[in-house]
Every structure is written in C-alpha cells, then in structure tokens.
Chain A
Amino acid sequence: PEAADLRALARHLYEAYLKNFPLTKAKARAILSGKTGDNAPFVIHDMKSLMEGEQFINCRQIPLKEHHHHHQQQQTSALTAGLGGAHQGSEYGFLGMTSISEEGPQDALELRFFHSCQSRSAEAVREITEFAKSIPGFSELDLNDQVTLLKYGVIEVLIIMMAPLMNKDGTLISYGQIFMTREFLKSLRKPFSQMMEPKFEFSVKFNMLELDDSEMALFLAVIILSGDRPGLLNVKPIEQLQETVLHSLELQLKLNHPISLQLFAKLLQKMTDLRQIVTDHVHLIQLLKKTEVDMCLHPLLQEIMKDLY
C-alpha cells in the first residue's frame, strides 16, 4: 500500500480510538506527572483512604448524575473504573452492587471491589467492540470470526490499555480521578493481592517503549486482528487486514521514533508476554470462581472466559 494510504489508516484508527476511549495516554501521563494543576488525583493507599475515595467521587459526580436513577451503583463503579479509559457518567448497567462504604466484613470488601472492577471491564469490552468495528474490513469478516477475535483479543487489549494509566508506584482508576497505590493492591487478601502485580511489571516495561496514542490505536488493532486465534473459520482476510495495519504501525513508528530502530520488533515481542499474562489472569479468575463462595462473574466476562485457555 502507498504511504499516504497507510497514514490515512493510522489517522482513521486514531480517531476511532479517541472516540471510544476518552482517557487517552496523553491525558493519563499529564495526570500522573502532576501537570494538571489543581486537579491532582485522590490517592488511595489504605482501607481508610479507600472509604474516603468513595466520598471524594460521590461529591464530584453528583452534579453530573442528577438525572440518573442508579446513583449509588454508578458511583461505586465509577470509583473502581478507569482501567483503560471510560466515558464519564457511563449509562450502562451494573451488578447491583452495594456501596463500598457500607458496613460489612473486611472479607467482603475485596469481593465488592472486584465486582466493581468487573463492571468496568464489561463496559470496556463494549468500548473495545466499538473500536474493533471501526477497523476497516472488520465488520465484513465472518460474524463467527468477529466473535472469536473479540473473545481472544479483548483481555489482551484491556491489559495494554492499563499500561498508560500505570507507573511503578500505582495506577489511575475512575477516569483518572483516583490514583491507587501498588502497595495497597498488594496488601489485599490473596488471591486479589496477586491480580495486579503482573500487570504492573508488564506495564512498567511496556511504557519504556513510549508509544503515543496514535501508535497505541494501531497496536490495539494489530492485536484484535490476530489470525492465529483458535477456531477461526477464514484466516486469510484477517491476516490481510492485519498486514496492512502492521505496515501502517511500522511507518508510524519510523516517523515518530526515528532513532528507536528496533521499536517495531520490540513491540511485536510484547504480544508474546501479553498472551502469558492473559493465560495467568484467566486461571486466577477461574481459581477465584472455585474458592470464593460469594463470587459471581459478570455474564459478559463469563462468556469471554469460558473455554478460553
């Protein structure tokens, strides 16, 4: 393809990315580096600040949500949201969770927190699906193959999208309004304490590649268009689409990072690490399902994780 076509594709995917994922890397990095002035995120570093964090979110969000019937559920989910960027005041359904600040045994707190994360993840799957549909040619693929590509791609995409929100000390959540420390996440009871640590390790290394939002958009499309997902019916058109996006990504990297010569190769290598992280993550969720009596998995996530790895 001509360079001009490849650049047009990059622009198109960047626009689709901005449309579907409002918390961009540029915005997240500005927040993390303290360049947003008065709007510094609220820091959650222990149980006490977790409770206060919810209040902080409630105070900020009530004016935005006067019209809404499900105040409390929305706010709880807003508190833990933001892994991967989210629409402020998203209108989608949640699990009927109770507020984190409600009294209850400490044990239940991790589960409630986990449920909020699930709701946010389900919403992110919807955003990722919309992004996928904007990839030229995706919607023309066999519908079964579209389902397969999403089933196997969305968790990888979710993990890549967490990276811009993270640094070595913690992660932004709740649309960048809250910073939750890595130490706090590590202090949760097992196995919750083990969930985020591999993502931090991956993200710190991934962030060293210093991709910008337009390169992130192309990389996400490359991940979605993986022709080696199990059970695909018609691999050829998927590989053709991926090849074009790969050309566009390679060109974009050359233009943006002229001195990082091996960047394209390094980025492609990350896809191997990513698959291992997803496999471990899914096994951890399956373990949770067995060991936690009160655990219920969001129907969309259940659908995705069933018979995955």
Chain B
Amino acid sequence: LKEKHKILHQLLQNSTSPVDL
C-alpha cells in the first residue's frame, strides 16, 4: 500500500519540512 501511495507516505514520514506537492 505504501508503494501505491508514495506522496501520502512521504507526507506521513517527513515531519514539518515542506513537501513539493
């Protein structure tokens, strides 16, 4: 599931650092 949801996964893993959406 994590592999199919890379961005969500990234948002969950990264703390408050801005993610380039």
Contact = CB atoms under 8 A, between A and B. Distances in A.
Q: Describe A's contact surface by its main secondary structure.
A: helix
Contact of A303 (B8, B12, B19): B8
Given A143-B2, A151-B5, A126 B21 contact: yes
Contacts of B8: 125, 129, 147, 150-151, 300, 303-304
B7 A147 contact: no
A252 interface: no
Contacts of B12: 129, 133, 143, 146-147, 150
Contacts of A143: 2, 9, 12
A93 B7 CA distance: 13
Given A130-B16, A144-B1, A231-B1, A93 B21 contact: yes
A159 to B, nearest CB: 18
A303 B20 contact: no
Contacts of A129: 8, 11-12
A147 B18 CA distance: 18
A150 B5 CA distance: 10
Given A144-B1, A144-B2, A231-B1, A92 B7 contact: no
Contacts of B21: 92-94, 119, 122-123, 126, 298, 300
Contacts of A144: 1-2
A129 to B, nearest CB: 4
Interface of B: 1-2, 4-9, 11-12, 16, 18-21
Given A92-B21, A122-B21, A300-B8, 7 more contacts: A92-B19, A92-B20, A93-B20, A130-B16, A143-B9, A143-B12, A147-B2
